[in-house]
Amino acid sequence: MIREKILKVRAKARIRKSKKEINKNIKNFFAWIKGAEIIELKECDTKKDPVRPELDNEFRTSYGRKIYGVKYKNEIYAVMCFAFTNEIPKSVHELDLLSRDAFLQSATRDQNVGKIAIAYTVWSNKKGGGKLIVKEVFKLIKKSNHLNRLVTLSPLTEMARSFHLNNGAVEVQVNEETQNFEYKL
């Protein structure tokens, strides 16, 4: 009888210890997020882009387009690429044309390219990176004095749909090759 009680107490102690270790591991797993910062990149490794690897760095940085990364300890954990337009594109070809148009219009006005930030690709090398970069870019755009919308040009996949809807976006439209979601500013 005493032996059984001792075994039960030891089993409970092991369970408590296991729970503490699991909680500690979870905290350590996401600790990098607190020290991460968002930066503008001059280029990215386009081969790592699971959405649009065919778009080279020249496309991603010309006509006012930008690449942002989440950096932690000199390593890039997530990447998001943007084009700035005045209308919502339905394809990568339209994205190219509309961002060129917005860029050329801004050259003759106030140098502020477009009113809509179009996120056309996002990927993460670390768990939690995708959600973090969406949140950080959202903050940057909200602070902008000329951007009033954050819209995606996403592939027609359930993964993209779930990602954006789970991160607070609203579906705008479904196109022939893409789908658009909007994050309310």
Q: Domain residue spans in the chain?
A: 1-35, 37-183
Tens digits of per-residue pLDDT, 65-91? Answer: 999 999 988 889 999 999 999 999 999
| pLDDT above 80 for 179 | yes
Calpha distance 147→160 (Å, rounded) = 23
Structure-token pair, residue 39 = 């930066």
pTM: 0.78
Under CATH, which architecture does the 37-183 domain have? 3-Layer(aba) Sandwich (3.40)
Q: Are 131 and 162 in contact (CB under 8 A)?
A: no
Q: Is the pLDDT of residue 51 over 90?
A: yes
Is a pLDDT exceeding 80 seen at residue 150? yes
pLDDT at 98: 96
**Which contiguous run of DSSP H or E holds residue 57?**
helix 57-61
- 135 exposure class (CB count in 10 Å sphere: 0-12, 13-18, 19+): middle
State the average pLDDT over residues 147-162.
93
pLDDT exceeds 60 at position 55: yes
Q: What is the rounded CA–CA span in Å between residue 152 and residue 185? A: 13
Strands of 4-148, DSSP E: 37-41, 66-72, 75-85, 116-124
* Tokens encoding 45: 């490794």
Greatest alpha-carbon pair distance for the chain in Å reads 89
Band of the pLDDT at 2, cuts 50, 70, 90? Answer: confident
Alpha-carbon distance of 117 to 135, in angstroms, equals: 14
* Whether the predicted pLDDT of 97 surpasses 70: yes
Beta bridge partners of 173: 180
Could you tell me the pLDDT band of residue 128, with boundaries at 50, 70 and 90?
confident
- Assess whether pLDDT exceeds 70 at residue 25: no
- The pLDDT score that the predictor gives to residue 53 is 97
Q: What is the mean pLDDT of the chain?
A: 85
**With pLDDT > 70 as the criterion, what percentage of the chain qualifies?**
82
